[in-house]
Amino acid sequence: MNKSLKLFAGSSHLKLAQEVCGELKIDLGRLHLDRFPDGETSVQVLENVRGCDVFILQSIAGEPNHYLFELLIIIDALKRSSVRSVTAIIPYLGYCRQDRKNKPGVPITAKLVANVLATAGITNLITFDLHADQAEGFFEISVDHLHCQKLLCDFARELIGERCAVVAPDIGSIKIAEHMARILNTGLAVIKKERLNSFDVSMSLIGDVRDRNVLIPDDLCSTAGTLVSAANLCQELGAKKIVAAVTHGLFVGDAIERIELSAIDHLITTDTIDVRRGVPASIKRVSVAVLIAEAMKNQQASQE
Ligand code: R5P
């Protein structure tokens, strides 16, 4: 391992950064993170990083505005300490759901965030399952866009067994669902939603789930509305065991309680986002630390 490999972490997900350091057998870079009395973020790099290729890990979730700005300030501090390159590892890149102008007067925050990260000075980005692959194109720097479907399938396989179907909970998740159906060698079904009026949405299933175990994949679970309504529909249509699998578990508000009360038997997610409250046994979190460590090594090798 090249001695100059250094990983720093913002305050959003220290646990994951420490796990990555464990995988790489390195110490976490020393940073002092604080707030000035007026609430502004204060950062100081506490070691010599001159000429180093540095990595900084921060997820933009939970308190997205604070964590994004904290990340920008850390990048600035590292640049001013004469690093050779800065790779941002952003396991969950918040603001990416707004990636097109779908109605008048709205911003494209995914592009804005790409611009501010580039302006702050990142030279590379490592991230997981962006809401839409096209968002990669908003960056003019190299993007290592990692996917978690294989990792999630490895855990789902023994829960759903042989006679099963992968069910895309909406049209937007067909690509992920197809990918997982291919990995698991199963059939595919799709839930079609139709808005009837401003309050009601009708849902129908294209495909068959009767007497099958089902796997419902998505890129993220926020309020859990999408997964819960998909699972409940599958149950009504005669599905047996229902397993959901998502890369990013945001779990906003009472999402965990809603999952517990729904037809979902198990939910598999990753640790791209720090969940600072306990999760029930029905929610299994799989670590992405090994994938991050691999991506860092590859990045380092390509820079030598
Ligand atoms: C939507 O396009 C996404 O892929 C997810 O389905 C959605 O953001 C999940 O949100 P929620 O958990 O609030 O339904």
Q: State the pLDDT at residue 276.
A: 83
Amino acid 4: pLDDT: 60
pLDDT at 196: 83
* Residue ranges around ligand 1 (CB below 6 Å): 172-173, 218-226
Which DSSP letter does residue 4 get? Answer: T
pLDDT of residue 3: 58
Q: What is the pLDDT of residue 278?
A: 84
Catalytic, 193? Answer yes
Alpha carbons 78 and 85: distance in angstroms, whole number: 9
| Cα–Cα distance measured from residue 286 to residue 148, given in angstroms and rounded to the nearest whole number | 10
Ligand 1 pocket test target in 129, 219, 228 with most atoms within 8 Å of CB: 219
Question: Can you tell me which atom of ligand 1 is nearest the CA of 250?
Answer: 12
Of the residues 100, 221, 250, which should be mutated to test ligand 1's pocket, given the most ligand atoms within 8 Å of the CB? 221
How far apart (Å, rounded) are the C-alpha atoms in residues 158 and 155?
A: 7
Tell me which of 79, 175, 193, 284 is the catalytic residue: 193
Q: From first to last of the 304 residues of the chain, give the pLDDT tens digit.
A: 445 679 999 999 999 999 999 999 999 999 999 999 999 999 999 999 999 999 999 999 999 999 999 999 999 999 999 999 999 999 999 999 999 999 999 999 999 999 999 999 999 999 999 999 989 999 999 999 999 999 999 999 999 988 899 999 999 999 999 999 999 999 999 999 888 887 788 999 999 999 999 999 999 999 999 999 999 999 999 999 999 999 999 999 999 999 999 999 999 999 999 998 889 999 999 999 999 999 999 998 887 7
How far does the centroid of ligand 1 lie from the alpha carbon of residue 50, in Å? Answer: 42
* Contacts of 177-184 spanning 24+ positions with Cβ under 8 A: 177/217, 179/147, 179/149, 180/149, 180/152, 180/153, 180/156, 180/215, 180/217, 180/245, 183/149, 183/150, 183/153, 184/153, 184/156, 184/157, 184/160, 184/215
- Tell me how crowded residue 23 is: count the other CB atoms within 10 A of its CB: 16
The domains located in the chain, with CATH, are 6-147+289-303 (3.40.50.2020), 149-286 (3.40.50.2020)
Q: Give 222 Cα–ligand 1 centroid separation in angstroms.
A: 6
